[in-house]
Structure 1
Amino acid sequence: MQQTVYLNDVLEEMRTPNKEGRAIKFNMSVRSLNKNSKTGGKMYHYENAKLVMEETPLDPLGIKALQMLPSEKRETFKKSPNHFKNKTRNIRLEDGSIKKIHIKHIIRFNGKTVIY
């Protein structure tokens, strides 16, 4: 019998931080889709991916602490991606790149089949 997990449980597990306040690593398989041509179906497997989220810094010289220092050149913030409305999430891959995935296209999560 194949193990299954609900999508809500997958999303909850993805955004739950570990003891240090960092995002947990997970494995997932996601299917692609081109909304304009209604084609797709290519399967992507992501190993040791992490949800992009605000992490608590471990030391005062961490990334978040350094961002809070006053600087002459400040980055401008982009508009909100509206992940809830668009049903998307950003994940960071092992190589440091960020991918946007559509949550309805998640097929497997940590070896379990995702059901809705």
Structure 2
Amino acid sequence: MAEETIYLNQVLEIMRKPDSDGKAVKFDIAVRTFNRNSKSGGTLNSYENAKQVMKEAGMDKNSIYALQHFKKSKIPKIRKNPQHFSNKTRNIRLENGEVKKIHIRYIISFNGKKVIY
């Protein structure tokens, strides 16, 4: 029996496309870890019902995007640009609200399908 596969560019398109309500799409993803500096890692992490961190239509004031960008403080906070495109990374939000940074080249499976390049 052949295993279902999906291309990485299709995975990234599904992740960034909002649903009909303007909310981020939920997905299941399995990603390997790796630390380039120490050359260590390789553990497989699986996340269920994760979402890509993005601006959502009709978001509440306690959403991650709102808390990061619309603070009550008048003093602007300087943030470093994460440069997700050049670093090949994405931020995903888990069900418990935790945000994880993943490297797109280490995505093993997406919604039960094996990811190929």
What is the TM-score normalised by the length of structure 2? 0.85
Map of 1:91 onto structure 2: 92
Q: Which has the larger radius of gyration?
A: 1
Distance 1:70 1:95, change over 3 A: closer
Does residue 114 of structure 2 align to residue 113 of structure 1? Answer: yes
Alignment of 1:72-83 (within 5 A): 73-74=73-74, 76-83=77-84
Q: TM-score, normalised by structure 1?
A: 0.86
Deviations 1:11-52 (A, max 9, x none): 000001001100010000000112123232100000000000
Aligned to 1:21: 22
**Moved >4 Å (runs of 4+):** 66-71
Q: Superposed, which structure 2 residues align to 1:1-116 within 5 Å? A: 1-57=2-58, 62-63=60-61, 71=72, 73-74=73-74, 76-116=77-117
Whichever residue aligns with residue 81 of structure 2, its letter is S
| Cα 1:35–1:2 shift into 2, 3 Å | same
Structure 2: unaligned runs, 5 residues or longer = none
Identity of paired residues, percent? 52
Separation of aligned partners in 1, 2:42 and 2:27: 22
**In the alignment, residue 6 of structure 2 is paired with which amino acid?**
V
Extract unaligned runs of 5+ from structure 1.
Answer: none
